[in-house]
Amino acid sequence: MATEPKVVYSFQKNALEEVRASVTTFKGKNYLDIRVYYKADDGEFKPSRKGITLATSLIDDLEEAVKKLREALDEAG
């Protein structure tokens, strides 16, 4: 059974969406989850299907990917 995600960081994507980075637990194992949440008609944010869930063992790879993205943006000017 999945537990409520522990949100560790979030930022506004646009007026109706935000991105949340969280740690989730499913069947006793922790996972990294980066997901877009949308503002529903009731005003509450709900998780969308847009996102990624990774094993915690991949956190170094995720950090490296973000580093490479930053380098590519710096090179692009």
* pLDDT digit string, tens, across residues 3-28: 788 999 999 999 999 999 999 999 99
* pLDDT digit string, tens, across residues 35-52: 999 999 999 999 999 999
pTM, two decimal places: 0.86
Architecture field, domain 6-76: Roll (2.30)
Per-residue model confidence (pLDDT) at position 1 = 67
* CA 25 vs CA 11, 16, 49, 72: distances in Å: 22, 27, 18, 33
Q: Which residues pair with 77 in a beta bridge?
A: none
- Other CB atoms closer than 10 Å to residue 37's CB: what's the count? 20
Local structure of residue 31 (DSSP, 8 states): E
CA 51/CA 39 separation, integer angstroms: 16
Q: Which pair of tokens denotes residue 58?
A: 């991949």
